[in-house]
Structure 1
Amino acid sequence: MSSAERYPRRTILALAAASGLSACAPAPTEHAPARTPPLGQFLTLRGRRLHYVQQGRGPDVILIHGASGNLRDFTFDLTARLANSYRVTAFDRPGLGYSQPLRETGDSPEDQAAQLERAAAELGIRRAVVVGHSYGAAVAMAWALDHQARVAGLVTLAGVTMPWPEGTLDPWYGFAASGLGSTLVTAFVTERAARRALPRFFTPQPVPRGYADYVGLDLALNPAILRASARQVDRLRPSLVSMSARYRRLHIPVEILHGTADSIVGIDLHARPMAAVLPNARLTELSGIGHMIHHAAPRTTRAAIDRAVARARLRPQG
C-alpha cells in the first residue's frame, strides 16, 4: 500500500500517539477543561457547542485543522502571521478540541461544513477564504460545494481531497471508534510516547520548538475525542467519492499546497489529481516539505492565502 493510501490510519495513529493521557476522561467542556484550557469563545448551534478563536481585522480567513487535532495547531504560529492583514477565525472541528460532535455515528465533512456555515453566519462572516489542513481540507471542500455563497476562495494544505482505493481503510477504525477501544488505546499511551511520536507527523522537518507543550497533548486521545475522530475518518471516503464528482463545478479560486515529501497524505493521490479536475486551481508543490506545511513553510502558506484573497477580490466586511 502506498503512503497516500495509508493516510487515514497513519494520520490518526500519529496524532493518537502525539496526544493525551487520560484513559477514561469525559470530553472536555468550557466548564470542565482538560489540562489544556480552551483559548477562545463558544457558540451553541442547534444544541451543540462550538469552540473558536477570532483575531485581527480585514478580509475574513477561516482555518480548519486536521484529523484529531484542534485549533491550537493554527494559533501556535499561523494566526499571528495573518492577523495583521485579516480577520482570522479558527475553529475546533465538531467532535474535536472543545467542540461537541454532531452525530453519535460520526460527522461527515458535509455535516461539519454545515455546522461551520451556521457558525460563520452567527459571527457575521459573509464571504471568506477557507483554509483547510489535511482532513480539514475535505471539510473546506464540502463547505465550498454545499454553501458557495459564503466561500470566496479555498486554500488546501496537504489536503485529503480525493478518495483512496476502496478497501484500504484499516479495521483499527472500528475498534478505535468504540467506547472500549478508545479507552484501551488511551490507557497504553504515555506522554513520553506521545512526544517521541510527534516527529513522524512533521518529518522530514523538525517539530517546532515549544509545539508539543503548546498544542495540547491531553486533548486528542481523550477517549471521546479519539472515538469522534475515528468515526469521522471512517465516514470520509464515501464523502470524497461524492464530493470529487462535483469538483468540476467549483469555479472559485483554489490554491493547493502540498509537499513532495509528505508521507502522511500522498501528493500523487490527492493534490495532483484534484488540481487536474478543478477549473480554477493552482498547485504549488513544495520540494522536500512534509505534511505540516504551515509550520515548515509559513511564508509560502501566507503567500498562498494572500493569492487566494486577491484572486477572490475579497475586501474587509463593514
Structure 2
Amino acid sequence: MLTTVLLIVGLTALVQWRAYRREAAANAQYPPIGELLDVGGTKVHALVRGSGPDLVLIHGASGNMRDFTFDMVDELATRYRVILFDRPGLGWTDVLPQHAGAWNKRAASPADQAALLQQAADQLGVHKPIVLGHSYGGAVALAWGLARPDQTSALVLVSAVSEEWPGSLGWQYQLTGSTLGSGLLIPVIMGFWPEKLVQHSIDSIFAPQPSPAGYISHIGPDLALRRVSMRANSQQVNSLLPHIKEMVPRYSSLTMPVEVIHGTADTIVPMDIHAKVLMTQLPNAHLTTLPGIGHMPQHVERRAVFDAIDRATARAGLR
C-alpha cells in the first residue's frame, strides 16, 4: 500500500514538473508582443499597430493574437489602426476572476469577455471600431455589438460561432472540461504532448487546406497547452451553448453593417448551421461564401477577408 502511494505521488510530481518546465519554456520563447493593461486588476494583453479607422481583432478558441500577427496585421496596419487582444485565460491575458462581483462565478461568457476587452479598448482610446471575430471570437464580437450597438461601426464574422448546434462537443473538450480531466489529464498533456500531435491538431483545424509554413513556430502552440489556458479554454467552450441561446433572440437588434465570411468545407463551425442561419437573423448583413475552404480563411483566403473588412468599413461610412 505504501509503495503504491509513493508511486502515485512520484508520478504526480513528475507530471507537474514536466508541465512546469514546458510552460516555462513556452513563456520564455513566446513573451508578450504588446502591452499589458490593468483592467480592474485583470491583466489584458493588447497590441496596437498602424493608423486609420479602429479595427479590433478577436481570436478563436485555443489561440492567441499571434494568429493574426502571422500574416495579416502588417498589411492591415497600412490603412487601419489595428487593435489585437488575447482573450481571457489565453495568450497573456489573465483568467477573469471567479469571485462574486463584477464577474460571475463561472467560465467567462462571450459577454463577460467582450466587457473586459471593451474596457481595455477604452484605455487605448478605441472609437467606434470595426470588430472582427474568428470562430469562438465571432461569438465575442457579436456580444461586443450587442453590448455597445451605438459604439460599434461594423462587425466582421469569420467562420464565426453564432447559432445553437446539434449534438455534443468533441470528446477532448468534454474530458478536459471535467473535474478529473482538468486535474489529471491537462498536466499530462502539457508535460508530454508530442510535437507530432500538435502538428496534426493544427492541420485538422486548417483542413482541407494545409497549414502555412512557419505558422506553428510563430503562434507558439505550447502557450495554449499551458494548464491555466487549457482549463480556461475548455470551460469557455463547454459553457458556450447556453450563452449562444441567450444571444440569438437579440441578433435582430444588431443594425450596424455585418460582413459574414465562411468556408463551405468548414467542419469545425459548419456554415449551414451558423452563417446561413445567422443571415436570416441580422437586418444588415452580407454573406461571402468560400467554396471548398475550411475553418481558417484569414490565412488561406486572406484577400477575401481583407475585402470583407474593407466593405464593412465602407458600409459604415468610415471611408
TM-score interval (norm. to shorter): 0.7 to 0.9
User: Is the counterpart of residue 23 in structure 1 residue 19 in structure 2?
Assistant: yes
RMSD over equivalenced CA pairs, Å: 2.0
User: Is the counterpart of residue 144 in structure 1 residue 145 in structure 2?
Assistant: yes
**CA 1:25/1:163 → structure 2, altered by over 3 Å: closer, same or farther?**
farther
Equivalent position of 2:30 in the other structure: 36
Distance 2:188 2:276 in 1: 38
Q: C-alpha offsets along residues 74-93 of structure 1, whole Å, 9 cap, x if unaligned?
A: 00011112111000011101
Equivalent position of 1:59 in the other structure: 53
Equivalent position of 1:78 in the other structure: 72
Match of 2:300 among 290, 296, 305: 296
Match of 2:231 among 222, 227, 234: 227
The answer on whether the counterparts of 2:110 and 2:140 sit within 8 Å (CA) in structure 1 is yes
Counterpart residue identity of residue 19, structure 2: A
Query: Percentage identity across aligned positions?
Result: 45
The answer on whether the counterparts of 1:27 and 1:225 sit within 8 Å (CA) in structure 2 is no
Secondary structure in 2 matching 1:23: helix
Distance 2:69 2:232 in 1: 22
Secondary structure in 2 matching 1:95: coil
Match of 1:90 among 81, 84, 90: 84
Q: C-alpha offsets along residues 194-244 of structure 1, whole Å, 9 cap, x if unaligned?
A: 123321111111111111111112200001100010011122111100101
Distance 1:282 1:299 in 2: 17
Match of 1:102 among 96, 101, 113: 96
Distance 1:84 1:35 in 2: 28
Secondary structure in 2 matching 1:245: helix
Higher relative contact order (CA 8 A, sep 6+): 1
The answer on whether the counterparts of 1:42 and 1:52 sit within 8 Å (CA) in structure 2 is yes
Q: Is the deviation greater in 212-221 or in 184-193? A: 184-193
Distance 1:22 1:229 in 2: 21
TM-superposed CA distance for 1:181, in Å, is 3.3
TM-superposed CA distance for 1:168, in Å, is 5.3
Equivalent position of 2:188 in the other structure: 184
Q: C-alpha offsets along residues 61-100 of structure 1, whole Å, 9 cap, x if unaligned?
A: 0000000100000000111121110000111011100000
Point out the structure with max Rg over C-alpha.
2
Equivalent position of 2:262 in the other structure: 258
Counterpart residue identity of residue 111, structure 2: E
Distance 1:286 1:238 in 2: 29
**CA 1:217/1:79 → structure 2, altered by over 3 Å: closer, same or farther?**
same
Secondary structure in 1 matching 2:224: coil
- Report the TM-score, using the length of structure 1 for normalisation: 0.87
TM-superposed CA distance for 1:151, in Å, is 1.2
Structure 1 unaligned residues grouped into runs of 5+: 1-20
**CA 1:233/1:303 → structure 2, altered by over 3 Å: closer, same or farther?**
same
